[in-house]
Every structure is written in structure tokens, then in C-alpha cells.
Chains A and B, each alone.
Chain A
Amino acid sequence: MSKLLAILARAPWVLLIALLGLCALSVYNLHSTSMAAGNTIYLRHLYWMLIGGGVMIVVALIDYRSLQRFVPLFYLGVLTLLLLVLLVGKEVNGSKRWIDLGFVGFQPSELAKLAIILSLASWFQRVPRPGGYALKDLLPVAALIGLPMLLILLEPDLGHTLMLLFISGSMLVFERFERRAMVTLLIFGLASAPFVWEFVLRDYQKSRILTLVDSKADTHGAGWHARQARVAVGSGGFFGKGHGHGTQVAGGFLPENHTDFVFANLAEEQGFLGGFFVLALYLALIISALRSASMARDRFGRHVAVGVGALIFWHVLMNMGMVLNILPVTGVTLPLLSYGGTSVVTVMSAMGLLLNIHLRRTVF
């Protein structure tokens, strides 16, 4: 009993309050899109939140150090699912991202992010290099990251491919490298860009990037989405149009308003005030994750916490960047706010890991 109290005393309250705030806000926000569409998505979202909350508690309670054993198994399982989605996945808009489980769709690429975070952290734990990592040390890491990235790129899902790249990159940045390794990586990254553009990206992906430069390049496809999001956000002003009164959502002018463009709805109805509040909550979440990282008991915990922080950070940046028309349109969701079961459960389990690490941190 006293141990439980001690655990509660060590609980990351900032994280929990920010999390609760985002969950409440997401249901409230989706209630507006539900009214417009005449469905009950906000209720289903609430159910997913409750399920996610349960998963989070379970994940938080089992000591993460005992979880480390299962990481390779989890990684292989996710790889299998990624292969499976390419074979039997449901094709939507020309890409296979979903496995249809009958009652619900399931997106393996969401789990891939967790798999990468856990397996990278596990590798850092097992292969310590106090003097900094050399280039040859990173070859297994490249394979570890590259395999799921390739499978997701084949779906194709550029957003999640980039997501994996950015999350792993952030985790690597947290470690120390030999100078030579860093310079080589940088040069390699820059030099590969034209090849990625020419041979990896598909035409519609290129056009979305070009739309960013010239908004008139594509006014009906991705450009139309981005344009309507911009209108929604801009017309919100300081105080917003009020709950349920966002014309862009209610009138159906803003597409994907409950998933990828959910922030446009929030900014339209809650204005700058609402947008600022949401950004602050996310920042609190990320800072909390990084604090956990710096206080973690071991390298595994450290890197998992950084990975989770990076997951939130890059999702928010890429999603809002897209909604605010400064980044290309990619199907990257806004954590917790976007409707989607897999996404919610993934983020909530990540939060569970964070809690787990925080509760078992070193006390100085």
C-alpha cells in the first residue's frame, strides 16, 4: 500500500493532465464533426480512448525491463503483419494500408512505430559505446529501421515511411557518435535526396510536395484538401466560430475532417485560443517524455522515452504542418485528436511505456 502511494507520488502529473486534456478535447472536437456528418464517431472515439486507457495502464504496470525480452518477437510480428498487409490488405485510394478484421480496420504501420522504438532502444541497451558510435556499428541499426520502412513504402504510405525515419533519427540524435560517422550520414542523406525524388516518390506524392510551393498546382486533389484546411483555420480567427458552428466542417467543405484534418476543425471552431492550447498540451507531453528520458534508470528506458517523445513530436509537426499549409499533404494523423482506433491504442500504449519508465526512474 505504501509502495503504491510512493508510486503515485512519483507519477508524471504533467503528462497525465496533458493526456487527459487532449483526450477530453478530442472527444469534444469530434462531437462537432459527428454533428455535421450525422454519425456517432465521437462516441466510438471515446470507446477507443477507454480501451487505450486500459492498455496504457497494463503497459505501465508491467516493469518495462521485463518487456525487453519480447521486443524481438514483437518486431518480427510487426514485420509479418506488414508483409501480410501487402498481400491481403484492403486497397483504399490505390494503397494498401489496412487489414480488415471484419468489425474493425487495423493499420500495422501504426504498430511499426512502436516496434522500431522498442527494438532500437533495446539495441542501444545491448550495444553500449560510451565513446560514441562508429559508422560500422550502425549497419544493423540501418537494417532494423530499413526493413519496416521499405515495406511501408511499398504500401505505399509516404507519411509513415517518413515517420519511421524521423523517429529513428531523433533517437539516434540522442546518442553520441564519432564525428566521422555524423559527417558521412549527413552527406549520404543529402546526396540520396534526388534519387529518392526520382525513383522512390510516386507522381501524386511529388505533386503534393509541389503544391506546397505553388498552391495552384493542384486545386482539386491534395491542393483542394490543403486549401480548405487553410480556409477553415484562417476563418476561425482568435476566438473561433464556436462548437458545432464551423462552416467548413458543418458544410462538408473540409474533407477528412475527423481524421487527418481534424486540427483544422478545432482551429476553425476554437480559434487561435484553442490551437494554442492544443499545441501547449502536446509540448507538455513531449517535454515530459524527454524529462523521463533524462531521468530513466537505463538506456533502454531512455531511448524508449525519447522515441515516444519523437513519435508525438513528429506526428504533431507533420500533421499540423500539413493543415497549416507549410508541409506537404501526407496521411499522418494528429495523435489522440484524429479519429482512428489503431492510432489511439498505439499512442496510448506509448504513453503507458512512458509512465512505466517514469515510475521506475532513478531518483537522484
Chain B
Amino acid sequence: MADYLDSSAVGYQKSARRLMLIAALAFSVLLLRLAHLQFIEGRQLKGVSVHNFARRVDLPANRGSIYDRKGRLLAVSRPSFDLYITPAQVKDIDVLLEGLGQVIELDALDILKLKEKVLQRQGNWRYKGLLVARDIGRKHVALAEDLRSRVAGISIQVRYQREYPMGEIGAHLLGYLGRPRPDELGEGSPYRNDSMLGRFGLEKKLEETLRGEDGFERYVVNARGARKRGGWAERALEGLDNYRPPQRGHDVVLTIDADLQRILANALEGFESGAAVVLEPDTGAVLGIISKPSFDPNEWSGRLSFASKQAIDDNPYNPMLDKSVHSYFPGSIYKPMTALAALEEGVLDPELPIESPGSYEFGNRIFHCHKRSGHGAVDLNAAMAASADVYFYKLGEQLGIDTLARYARRFGFGQRTALGINGESAGIVPTKAHHDKNTRGGFQYGLALSTAIGQGDVRTTPLQMAMAYAALANGGVLYSPRVIDHIRTEDQREISRTQPIQIGTLEARPDHLAAIKRALERAVNDPKRATGHHAAIPYGVIAGKTGTAQVRKIVRGMMRQSVNRFQDRDHAWFAAFAPYDNPKLVVIIFLEHGGSGGKDAAPIARRVFEAYHQQIEPIFQTEARLGR
């Protein structure tokens, strides 16, 4: 084969160089692209690669506990152990299920269903745990752990379950937990899908104190979702933020007494709807506060069944309304405020008898007394004892509505207290301006008369009333009601302690205050007239005032007991403090549409004082010593 001698070798050399140039240019494009991906998109793509292999498990923080004043648990997060099967790890489903049958109760049908569920899982879903049993209890955990060490595919996951040992008692104060709403999740949110956060009561108000901070742990998975350790997996996590321990929330110790809560709940037995508040008059500390009807916060914190929810929704007495901080007509328990205003304004001589008939004509209206026959000429003590309406109409007429309002505000009415839970109401202190704005026809002078006996537009909450009576009892100092005694860490280190918060005084002369206190003592202990005589006890002196607040003007003068519609019945109040000479407790009983202050609410207050004295702390010491 003869060599073909090329006539244009130089031409081929040119061609070759051209192709070399093209190849070099094409490879430069590849190199630039490589540089672009690795340098410009590098950071972002590195993030994607981390996203591929890194999985984050959240380590939920244990929520702080809530204790009563004596260190008894009111709310606690208990670890709950849930049992899972991971289908991908199961080697022999029958052996596993047989072993499982010895740990938890499973009947033949359960086993069949479980087996089907495990075998049905496909693809990556097989790596996702299948919940078998919730909250299996400590004894079963030990058995499950034992099974786990022998059979592959079982895992136990810990979750915190909020528990309220007192159940329904005091549920409104403590509140409950719920899952976060979509708008509470997302970037920067401390919550995850399965977080539980305070939704009501103190759980909500103290959310940040109790919550703590969730931690996390990062681990490595392969493309099939199986967890990997060591080697590349260990290297992959280098330089990443891989672990943060969960921070337990703080514990909160309340001023509340668990025993007293129980006493209050028992005392209100038989009444459908109402509230009770017990306060320490010298400090403003709330010792007991309940609202009726109540709900079970254990259920509401993530275990609410449809039936229970339905029952609460259908309950006509509105269980989810915290009546201790909702405002109502106070009725006659408002009369001491009117009396103090009159004394301070110099329009009342407490000793001077004032004619108090069964009705009082003012302008073109007749104002009735609850007692149609009237009370005759009565002084302050007798008027308070008998709750003589006309006596107070006359005081209201002389003072005018704005003067009454000025004094009412000194008692803290018309503004929210510092407790600030459950949509606390501010109540209403009516003034001329208020009526001009809200009443058809504007302010009329007669409204001052209604206001003087706690009707008209006056609205107060049971808690406000407790605060106001505490001021009367302690010599004129207005304390903000407080429920938190102190906040501490898990290891008992105190973070903050709440001191009594004085928010004002009644600015009243001591003898005027003494006169009011005396009149309130008469209202319980006057042998002839006392409307609150059902609250009297033989071994101590209780002072207090009944209130039977009319809800509907139409029913006035009719036989009130014949009013069948619950919503039309009167509110029954009793506001009291004791012992009379050195008050230790203020007790407010409120029965929504509950009937009569004297007959229904006063005996409840007495039972509370008695039970407190007998079961918690003897408060009637002086009298007891005298009795010996």
C-alpha cells in the first residue's frame, strides 16, 4: 500500500489548530460553568445538599409547673411515652406483634389491623413511625424497652402531656393548652406544629415564663431516609449547628390555696352558674378564685373529644366564660360605696335616721324598695342591715352620678385589674357622659338613684368587688389583686417574687371607714333586720353585704321565684370580710341568676369562712379564746 503523499499537509495543520482552539474554548465554557456552580451558586447548593441529608429532631422543652402557695401541683407536664412501629425496620412482623401483645393490650382484630397497616406502607413512608399506642405508662415502657432490644422496628417516643391534678376546680384561672394556629408558626416562631401553648388563663398569660425553649438535634439520613452515623455522616455534620439542649420553662408558685379552691367549689355546689373570689385584704393576694360551670383542662389540653366539646358548647351556662372577671350588676353590695361617698362629701350623718318607705317618687318616676312596706326611719347601720333602698336613693340624689363615679373609681371599679386573664372586663362606672352616650334620651337625673344601689348601668366583676371590699376591710388601701407569689427555676432558684402592689387608697377619713365597717357588721349580725344573717356564725364576727341584683326591670314587684327563665332571674351576691376586727379574708360569692343574696349567697360565704377556719387556718382566734 503506497503512502498517499499529502499535497496539503500545511492545510491539515491549520485545521488541527482550529479544532484545538474550538476544543479549548468549549472546555473553557465547561470550566466557567463549573466555577459558576461551585463559587456563585456554591453556598446555596451547599444548603440544598445539607437539606438532603440533615434531619432535625426537635427536643421539646418541658413546660414549667404551676404550684399553689403550699407547693402543691396545679399544672405539670408529665412525660408520656408513645409506642411506634417503623415498618422499614421490621424484620418479622408476626414476631413483633406477638411480642407487642405482651406489652400492651391487643386483641386479634387489632393485631390484624396493625399488620395490614405496617405492610401497606410503601417507599419512603416505611421510614415514618406508625403510632401504635399513646401514653403507655411507666410499667409498660420497661416492657416495651425490653421488647425493643430483642425485636427490630419498635420505638418509644417521649412527649409531654399537660396535667391538671385539680381537674375542673379552678380551671379558669389555670387555663389550658392548645396547638398553635398557622399564623403562630413559621420563621422565628418558638412553636412547631406539635407544640402546645397556653390558650386560656394563666397558661396563656404566663406563656413566656412557662414555655421554656425547645432544643433540637441534627442527624444524617441517606436518600432512603435511614439514619446514618460515623464516616461521611459524621463529617457531613461538621461545622453545622447540631445540638441545642431544650431549656425547661420556669415554675410558677401562686398565692392560691388548693384546699380553698376545693372549698369554694364545694360551697357553690347546687348552683349552676357563678363565681367566688377569696382575697387576703392586707396584701391583695388571691387565695381562691373559681368560676362555674367549669371545664376539664386535662381534656382541653389536646385530648378533647367531640362529645365533650359538644357538651361544653351546648351548656347554657357558658362554661368557657370566666365569671370571676366578667362584669355584672352588683346590686346592693354596691351600697357601702355610696355610703362612703356620702360620708366623705358631708351629706350624711350616720346616726341620723332617714325616712325609708317602700317607694320614692323622683321626677315622674317611682323608685321602689325591694320591701314594699318600707323600713321606716333608719340610720346608716339599720339601712345597711335591712338594705333599705330608699335611704340610698336619697343619698344618690344628693351626690349626683358623677360624684358617685369619682368614689367608685377609688375602689378600682371601671378598670381592669392586673390579673388580666380570660378577657377580663373593666366593668362600668356610669357617669353623665356615659349615659349621654349610651342611654336613649341621654342622662336623666334619676339614673343617679339607680346607680346608688348598684343598678342602672353599674357593672362590676367579682374580682373587682373583692378588691374593693379588701380596701374597706384593711382601712382604705387599694391593693391590686395578685395570684403569682414567685417564679423560680427548676432547681428552686427564685427569679422574681411579687410584692403586694398598692395602687391607691380610698382617701377616706378613718372614722368614716369605721362607720361603713360597722354598718356591714350589722348587715350580718343585726338580730332584727340583718339581710345577711345567714352568714352569721356563733364563734366569730363576719361583716358583709347581700346583693340581689335585678336583671330585668319588668319583673320588678312580681314574685321573683316564679320567674322561670334562668336569664331573667336576679343575680345573687354576697360580699364579706372576717374577722370583723382584724380582717384576714375577703369573700365574694356571685351566683349568676342565682336568686337571693341573703338566702342563697350569704350561706355560701359562711360555709367558706367556716371551712377555711376549720380546715386551713383558724382565723377567728380572738373570739375562740373568749369562748374558752
Contacts and interface: CB of A to CB of B under 8 A. Distances in A.
A230 B19 contact: no
A349 B608 CA distance: 104
Nearest to A228: B52
Most chain B Cβ neighbours within 10 Å, of A125, A230, A237: A237
A106 interface: no
A294 B16 contact: yes
A324 B33 contact: yes
B20 interface: yes
B242 interface: no
A102 interface: no
A235 B20 CA distance: 31
Contact of B1 (A65, A238, A302): A65
Contacts of A282: 27
A235 B49 contact: yes
Nearest to A250: B232
A286 B13 contact: no
A283 B31 CA distance: 12
B45 A235 contact: yes
Contacts of B44: 234
B39 A283 contact: no
A300 to B, nearest CB: 8
B72 interface: no
Contact of B19 (A234, A250, A306): A306
A140 interface: no
A243 B236 CA distance: 12
Interface string A55-66: 000000000010
A233 interface: yes
A272 interface: yes
B30 A321 contact: yes
Interface string B3-15: 1101111011101
Interface in A266-307: 267, 271-272, 275-276, 279, 282-283, 286-287, 290-291, 293-294, 297-299, 302, 306
B42 A320 contact: no
Interface residues of B, number: 49
B34 A233 contact: yes
B34 A276 contact: yes
Contact of B232 (A237, A246, A309): A246
B39 to A, nearest CB: 7
Given A244-B231, A287-B23, A251 B33 contact: no
A176 B15 CA distance: 9
Contacts, number: 160
A221 interface: no
Given A231-B45, A245-B235, A245-B236, A272 B12 contact: no
Nearest to A300: B4
B53 A237 contact: no
B559 interface: no
A302 B9 CA distance: 10
A254 to B, nearest CB: 9
Interface residues of A, number: 60
Interface in A325-354: 325-326
A176 to B, nearest CB: 7
A297 B34 CA distance: 38
A321 to B, nearest CB: 7
Interface in B147-171: none
A287 B26 CA distance: 13
A234 B52 contact: no
Q: Which among A233, A236, A294 has the highest number of chain B CB atoms within 10 Å?
A: A294
A110 B101 CA distance: 60
Contacts of B48: 231, 234-235
Given A176-B11, A231-B48, A245 B38 contact: no
A234 B23 contact: no
A215 interface: no
Contact of B45 (A128, A130, A230, A294): A230
A123 interface: no
A201 interface: no
A303 to B, nearest CB: 10
A234 B223 contact: no
Contacts of A272: 34-35, 38-39
What 9 pairs between A and B have smallest CB-CB spacing? A234-B45, A252-B223, A294-B16, A235-B49, A250-B232, A235-B46, A234-B37, A290-B16, A294-B13
24 contacts: A65-B1, A174-B19, A230-B41, A231-B49, A234-B45, A238-B38, A244-B231, A246-B232, A250-B232, A253-B49, A267-B34, A272-B35, A272-B39, A283-B27, A290-B16, A290-B23, A291-B16, A293-B12, A299-B6, A302-B6, A313-B23, A324-B30, A324-B34, A325-B37
